[in-house]
Structure 1
Amino acid sequence: MPLSPDTLHDDLLDASGLNCPEPVMMLHNKVRDLPPGGLLKVIATDPSTRRDIPKFCVFLGHELLEQAEDAGTYLYWIRKKAD
């Protein structure tokens, strides 16, 4: 079942208006501050995040629960890996 845009999350990263590599750099810092298993919602407008954020999750072992696009805005829900 897809996540709702209103799904409760532990933290939010709004990277709107930022271009590669800034969204992923900010994501790296934000995920570091999340508790293990925490849920992060990311909002971005850079189309390259469709490639970069899934690769980030695979590389670091986090779970990309959902990604969606709405009128040029890209949404991601990422579950931080348990330590």
Structure 2
Amino acid sequence: MSDAIDAQHHLDATGLLCPEPVMLLHSKVRDMAPGEVLEVRATDPSTERDIPKFCQFLGHTLLARQQDGELFLYWIEKKR
């Protein structure tokens, strides 16, 4: 999936536990332009719940997500 999505920004939240991944995500998205895409890498399983809720609550688009072993990957487009 990552080959098909061009992410302009990247956030490595591996090794961090709730609430840190979402706090860093919120800060990173704030600095992005509308329509830009962020790729997030995380190892905390709670991100499976928290990141989609974050996107839904703030109006961003969760373009895709995938799991590779213990690594969770998310592609988020900032709302336009």
TM-score with structure 1 length normalisation?
0.92
Q: Secondary structure at the match of 1:9?
A: coil
1:37 to 31, 35, 38: 35
Work out the percentage of aligned pairs sharing the same amino acid. Answer: 61
The aligned runs of 1:1-20 (5 Å cut-off) are 4-6=1-3, 7-20=5-18
Looking at structure 2, the residues matched to 34 and 68 of structure 1 have their Cα atoms a distance apart, in angstroms, of: 22
**Secondary structure in 2 matching 1:58:** helix
- Matched residue, 2:76: 78
Count of aligned pairs between the two proteins: 79
Q: Which structure 2 residues correspond to residues 54-69 of structure 1 after superposition, within 5 A?
A: 54-69=52-67
Further displaced range: 6-15 or 47-56:
6-15
**RMSD of aligned alpha carbons:** 0.7
TM-score by length of 2: 0.95
SS in 1 for 2:75: strand
Please list every run of 5 or more consecutive structure 1 residues that lacks an aligned counterpart in the other structure.
none
Any idea what SS the aligned residue of 1:66 has? strand
**Partner-residue secondary structure (3-state), 1:51:** helix
For residues 31 and 8 of structure 1, the distance between their equivalents in structure 2, rounded to whole angstroms, comes to 16
